[in-house]
Chains A and B, each alone.
Chain A
Amino acid sequence: MALNLKKWFNIREGLQMLTDVDSASDRYALLQRNIRILMIVLTIVPLSMMALINYHQYQSSLREEIITPETLLANKTRHSFEFFLKERQSLIKSISYFYSYDQLSDQKTLNHILFTLKKEFGGFVDLGLINGADGTQLCYAGPYNLLGKNYADQGWFQEAMLKGTYISDVFMGYRKFPHIAIAVQRLEQSGRSWIVRTTIDTTMFDNLIAAMGLDAESDAFILNKDGILQTDSRLYGKVLEHCPLTIPRGGHATYVEERKDPSGRDIFLTYTHFTYPEYTLVIVKPESTVLKTWYALKSDLFFVFLASSILIVYVVFRLTGIMVNRIREADQNRELAFRELQHHHKLSSIGRLAAGVAHEINNPLAIINEKAGLIKDLIEYTTDFKQKEKFSSLIAAILQSVSRCRTITHRLLGFAKRMEVEIEKLDLNELLEEVLGFLEKEALYRNIDIALELAKDLPRIDSDRGQLQQVFLNILNNAMAAVEDEGKISITTWEKDADTIAVSIRDNGCGMSDETLRHIFEPFFTTKREHGTGLGLSITYGIVKKLGGDIEVMSKEHEGTTFNVFLPKKPNA
């Protein structure tokens, strides 16, 4: 697996292949792929790590930030409840101390106290005095007729007697309103004990919960130690119903939990236990509201991550594409330049060799010429020479061959000559017309249509008149040879750019094969066999290059050939 992966990835080889010109053609694709993979891995991995770290850090710090207000709220509310109960309890305790047993036994006084309590504090329903010794209701102010009722067996009586105070759980009382009962025991020094007991409705509980200012989705309620609702819950039932949530007992801190409630909602649960009575305040919020900021942050984080990833991938793809294309272009240019250099080198070395050969051949050629000429002269001056005609024709053939050789050696020398370029200002259009003058007769005779499309205000250039004549004569000669009788040759001139003017010579002749096209500027390459030296176009090429110009040729078999010659306005510019 690891080996396969290595082979597939192949970065080193991919990079090496760059320097190896002859390797597989898809090396650029491979290189492009590898660079992309590498760059994406190098950028996305750290980005992902950053995103993950941020995610966790934000999560923990935000959790703190969310929990703190929840616990604060729970604590505050618990304190309010405890304060409320403590206040009521103290009030009853004060009454038991401020009033004597006898005073409290007086129905009138008791009614008055209840009236005052109702008026000043609210929520008080009744007030009663119970004998501590036997648990009988001695005096009672309130809506029920409870006088004489015995409480000796009831739990709250025993607890009040034992602990001195008692606060009951909520129960349904008078007019079907939830109530709690508070009882306070008073033990006189004489040993007589009695209990003051009051019932308070729990509207105040609802007020305290409302004061928390919870939103519509949230819920807060009080549970007793058995899990019975002491106030109405929006989500988990009415008062005195059993709450389906199980809240763990024990502990005096405020606890925060995330959990699913019995109906499957994700809730954020905050609860705190009262010191006395054993109530529990529970705040329930849907997780979505509490964690709203976190969710927003999370989606922001995710969006930023996604957007940057997409951006990175896009940029990497585009950039790598551009880069690899540039590399490919540079390679191609280099190869092209190399090929051109090679070509040029080949041409010039062949030229030097050719010149040397031409020089050496010229002398023996001159001897052959003179010897054969002498024989010819001798035959001609001798009147009674047998087979005179036969000899004459033989000699003529020799002289003709010498003449052909001379053409070759002279052209070779011309090709090799490091001629000094004679620069003058010249009008290329004029020059072309001059050259056409040489060919006019042949064109007329063969009915060849020569069309001139010369740019009117072609700038004059600095170049060598004689050599340019040679160039265009060579190209036009080839064009004339290529076209049939009644063929067409068109010559166009134009200003290519600020430094260059161009001449295009197009014929509709036989054209060339790609193979021919490849060798066209090489010396001794000819398709004319007997009639050509194969030097014309190589000389043309040499001259154009020497003059700082360029020449290009396009050809299609049976359709024709176009030569474009580009010449600088100023030499060596």
Chain B
Amino acid sequence: MKEMKVLLVDDEEEFVKALSERMKMRDVDSEVALGGEEALKTMDEKLPDVMVLDLKMPGIDGMEVLRRAKKAYPGVQIIMLTGHGSEKDEKEARRLGVFEYLQKPVSIEQLMKTVTEAYKKKFEDAMSAAAFAESGEFDTAKEILDRDKK
């Protein structure tokens, strides 16, 4: 398994930088974006495998980023990590195809576990889609890739 690329999106610079550093120590290629716009821009430049996304941010908020990212890059697995989670937000996020919804603060072990699982899923989805594509079942392949988009 090649090194996974993770994009960490949060307006709390101290938090997100420390987290990024810790992930790097765990052999994760982590990038940091300090807002929604920056996150979308970074995605265009360097597509991550997994995105860890805060919900409440100035400008484009987490929910909007989730919506746009899922549209543009349905393969990317997105994990919500927020301190302001309400039941409604969680429901909406899940409807939009979020991989997991976590509440701050979270231990690095749990976050790593979730990120790894998300990556694995992305990888598996891609593999099975490729398999279907190879055997000519493009529709099924597309379906798998779009599964989380809804």
Contacts and interface: CB of A to CB of B under 8 A. Distances in A.
Interface of A: 359, 362-363, 365-371, 373-374, 377, 381, 399, 402-403, 405-406, 410, 413, 417-420
A359 B85 CA distance: 8
B59 interface: no
Given A363-B15, A403-B107, A410-B103, A370 B84 contact: no
13 contacts: A362-B84, A362-B103, A365-B83, A366-B15, A366-B104, A370-B14, A370-B18, A370-B105, A374-B21, A405-B105, A406-B103, A406-B105, A418-B87
Contacts of B107: 369, 373, 399, 403
Main secondary structure of the interface of A (DSSP, over half): helix
A377 B25 contact: yes
Contact of B105 (A369, A381, A417): A369
Contact of A377 (B22, B104, B105): B22
B31 to A, nearest CB: 16
A418 B89 CA distance: 12
Contacts, number: 64
B25 A381 contact: yes
B100 to A, nearest CB: 16
A365 B104 contact: yes
Contacts of B28: none
B22 to A, nearest CB: 5
Nearest to B83: A362
Given A405-B105, A413-B103, 5 more contacts: A363-B12, A370-B105, A399-B107, A402-B105, A410-B103
A71 to B, nearest CB: 106
B133 interface: no
A359 B56 CA distance: 11
B87 A367 contact: no
Contacts of B83: 359, 362-363, 365-366
B72 interface: no
B64 to A, nearest CB: 20
Given A363-B104, A403-B107, A374 B87 contact: no
A362 B22 contact: no
A362 B21 CA distance: 20
Contacts of B104: 362-363, 365-366, 369
Contacts of A410: 103
Interface in B61-104: 83-87, 103-104
A278 to B, nearest CB: 125
A514 to B, nearest CB: 37
A107 B83 CA distance: 162
Contacts of B21: 374, 377
Contact of B108 (A362, A365, A373, A381): A373
Given A406-B105, A420-B87, A366 B22 contact: no
A373 B12 contact: no
A531 B84 CA distance: 25
Contact of B22 (A374, A399, A405): A374
A367 B14 contact: yes
A54 to B, nearest CB: 81
Nearest to A372: B18
Contacts of A403: 107
Nearest to B82: A362
Interface centre among B21, B86, B104, B107 (most CB of A within 10 A): B104
A373 to B, nearest CB: 5
Interface string B7-49: 0000010110011011001000000000000000000000000
B25 A359 contact: no
A403 B14 CA distance: 19
A366 B87 contact: no
Nearest to A375: B18
Interface centre among A367, A403, A420 (most CB of B within 10 A): A367
Nearest to B21: A374
